[in-house]
Amino acid sequence: MPGILQSVLSVPQHTETAEPTVSLSSDLLSQCASSTFAGNLTLTGADFTSVTADPVFNFSDTAPEYLNFGHPNTSVFNATFCNVTVTYTHPGQGDFLTINAYLPISNPSWNGRFQAVGGGGWVAGMFSLSYAEMVGALSDGYATITTDAGVATDMSVESWALLSEGNVNLYGLQNLGSVSLRDEAIIGKNLIASFYGEGPKYSYWSGCSQGGRQGMMLAQRYPDLYDGIAANAPAVNWAKLFASIFWPQLVIDQYLNGTEPAACEINELTSKAIQDCDKLDGIVDGLISEPDLCLSTFHPDKYVGTSFNCSTTGKMTTISQEAVILANATWHGPRHPDGSLLWYGLFIGSPLAHPDLSDLRNILGGQWLRLFVKKNSTFDMRTFTVEDMERSMHRGAAEFDCIVGTNYPDLREFKELGGKILAYHGLADPIIPSKNSEHYFNSVTDLMGNVDDFYRMFEVPGLAHCYGGNGGQPTTLFAALVDWVENGTVPETIPISFQDPSGAINNRILCPYPLKAVWDGVGDTTEESSFYCA
């Protein structure tokens, strides 16, 4: 399984039973030519610069569940599809965007549906993660698409963030934030209509992290483009979220003299927290299912000086006060100099010492603060202070929320058009706090009242960022979204399975936030029937 960083940078759900809405014959293969699409592309505000289309034969690949979020493992064998690439620009903006679409021909044939997929980190799409998701979509017969938003597809935000020192590339950020998403949907439906002779019967979005944020932006700003949106662990509330990702690094630089405590110390503290808080839900299963209660009752200071065997060195060591300071700061979140909360911390139980996380603090958090807020590519983030954090959260939100913030709570038009949103977020996410999703969900609820008839979010104990961790992967969420959109079947629960420390397979349910899965107190805790939502 790839690491967190690769996932951020870088697939059966139930088989769709809808019959293809067009007759697929050998004639379709001859339609896979640039001339089929070139004369039919229209997009207000865009000039198309190239269209290429080539058939792909005997294509086989697998999309594993941990890269195709909300779907189970799925594979495609000896498929034939039309691979279409479109490039275009918005005149006067100096940009250059590319989209890539797979249009099924056979093995499988087109199911009459459209599925766009998201990106991760600073990447809008057209990278390894997006292509894994497209393999999953193709395997179920979807016409599928991805976009690069006109920015880098390898996390190198340094290459495009600033036009010059002090001047942010606002068109690039705007394309990443929203405009490319509108373009992608319109162009994708245009390609489908040109190729199959009719547009899609249903249109879906699927993504996690940046991909989740993209999905929520579509619901907020372009509510007529998709019928169903799977927006998992979404990076909404962008300015505050990205600044908060840097918070642990600030604590290291400003309070720990630039020295990060050993990873095995942090891991041992996390293990102690799971040991102490596991039973808070009445079940010992290796998971923290009551993270808020754990935060208020777990006191890591009592473990300072505790000896343990460090797995990385093979030697006995002790938990230091510095490790407790870093863990506490990460769990409790960025703070104003007076101690008040600036934004949310990670839940206890998240893998804080994952080897990728120190990189992510600077790649996601540090780059946002240095390039977009400070607008200074050479700013030394080691000098960044608590006062800087407070000001940067405020200034970043004030300047960029309208471009990339994705925290607009008014989803009334999306609801009125019949759209549905399903999302999951791991309670052990070490990058985007689950509280980030709760904050947005609550803001929508505060404005609109009960939103369960079109928007449901499921929190997953033990799940890390989009995938991984000890709590299992919700592999049927996208199928539930399709069933909700097309058949009106409300997803009251989502099934989840995981292996606990004893080796037993636990079959549980996830409940829509703010409800939680509660054990009935008598049934077998490994069986789904022993749990209810409350």
DSSP 160-201: TSEEETTEE-HHHHHIIIIIHHHHHHHHHHHHHHHHHSS--S
By DSSP bridging, strand 420-426 and strand 228-232 are parallel
**Which pLDDT belongs to residue 117?**
98
Residue 485 lies in a domain: no
User: Which residues are the active-site residues?
Assistant: 209, 429, 465
What secondary structure, in 3-state letters, does 325-372 show?
A: HHHHHHHHCCECCCCCECCCCCCCCCCCCCCCHHHHHHHHHHHHHHHH
Section 419-439 average pLDDT: 98
| Angle, CA of 457, 205 and 477, to the nearest 5° | 40
Q: Is the pLDDT of residue 25 over 60?
A: no
Q: Is the pLDDT of residue 20 over 50?
A: no
Same domain, 130 and 262: no
**Which pLDDT belongs to residue 294?**
97
Structure tokens at 203: 């249109």
Same domain, 176 and 32: yes
User: What is the DSSP-derived secondary structure letter of residue 445?
Assistant: H
Q: Is the pLDDT of residue 281 over 60?
A: yes
Section 397-406 average pLDDT: 98
**Which pLDDT belongs to residue 26?**
66
Please state which of the ranges 24-38, 92-106, 185-199, 206-220 shows the lowest mean pLDDT: 24-38
User: What is the DSSP-derived secondary structure letter of residue 303?
Assistant: G
Residue ranges with strand state E in 118-176: 143-147, 162-164, 167-168
Same domain, 172 and 49: yes
Longest dimension (CA), the chain: 74
Q: Is the pLDDT of residue 57 over 70?
A: yes
Q: Is the pLDDT of residue 445 over 70?
A: yes
Same domain, 175 and 256: no
Among 148, 411, 159, 358, residue whose Cα is nearest residue 248: 358
Structure tokens at 5: 């960083």
End-of-domain residue from the set 384, 400, 416 = 400
Residue 510 lies in a domain: no
Same domain, 266 and 154: no
Same domain, 157 and 39: yes
Q: Is the pLDDT of residue 21 over 80?
A: no
Among 209, 81, 93, residue whose Cα is nearest residue 145: 81
Q: Is the pLDDT of residue 402 over 90?
A: yes
Long-range contact list for 258-263, CB < 8 A, 24+ apart?
258/382, 259/322, 260/326, 260/358, 261/320, 261/322, 261/323, 261/326, 262/310, 262/312, 262/317, 262/323, 263/312, 263/353, 263/355
For 205-224, how does the pLDDT look when each residue is reduced to its tens digit (9 = 90+)?
999 999 999 999 999 999 99
- CA 404 to CA 57: how far, in whole Å? 39
- CA 359 to CA 249: how far, in whole Å? 10
End-of-domain residue from the set 350, 373, 400 = 400
For 300-329, how does the pLDDT look when each residue is reduced to its tens digit (9 = 90+)?
999 999 999 998 889 999 999 999 999 999
Residue 187 lies in a domain: no
Residue 456 lies in a domain: no
Same domain, 59 and 161: yes
**Between the CA atoms of 145, 151, 152 and 153, what dihedral angle is there, to the nearest 10 degrees?**
-10
Percent of the chain at pLDDT above 70? 95
Q: What's the alpha-carbon Rg for the chain, to the nearest Å?
A: 23
Among 59, 62, 84, residue whose Cα is nearest residue 74: 62
Domain that holds residue 5: 1-180
Structure tokens at 131: 């292509």
**Which pLDDT belongs to residue 370?**
98
In this prediction, residue 241 has a pLDDT band, given cuts at 50, 70 and 90, of: very high
Same domain, 11 and 148: yes
Output the average pLDDT for the chain: 94
The total number of residues written for the chain in this structure: 534
**Which pLDDT belongs to residue 262?**
94
Cα-flanking dihedrals φ and ψ of residue 495, to 5°?
-75, 150
Section 428-445 average pLDDT: 97
Section 117-140 average pLDDT: 97
Q: Is 438 exposed, middle or buried (0-12, 13-18, 19+ CB in 10 A)?
A: middle
Residue 293 lies in a domain: yes
Residue 359 lies in a domain: yes
For 74-111, how does the pLDDT look when each residue is reduced to its tens digit (9 = 90+)?
999 999 999 999 999 999 999 999 999 999 999 999 99
Q: Is the pLDDT of residue 4 over 80?
A: no
Residue 458 lies in a domain: no
- CA 32 to CA 520: how far, in whole Å? 57
Number of domains observed in the structure of the chain: 2
Same domain, 173 and 284: no
In this prediction, residue 357 has a pLDDT band, given cuts at 50, 70 and 90, of: confident
Among 383, 482, 443, 409, residue whose Cα is nearest residue 112: 482
Same domain, 143 and 246: no
Same domain, 150 and 260: no
End-of-domain residue from the set 154, 180, 206 = 180
**Which pLDDT belongs to residue 16?**
35
The pTM (predicted TM-score) of the whole model is: 0.95
For 476-525, how does the pLDDT look when each residue is reduced to its tens digit (9 = 90+)?
999 999 999 999 999 999 999 999 999 999 999 999 999 999 999 999 99
**Of 62 and 22, more confident:** 62
Q: Is the pLDDT of residue 8 over 60?
A: no
Section 165-176 average pLDDT: 98
Section 13-41 average pLDDT: 68
Residue 498 lies in a domain: no
**Which pLDDT belongs to residue 356?**
77
Same domain, 21 and 147: yes
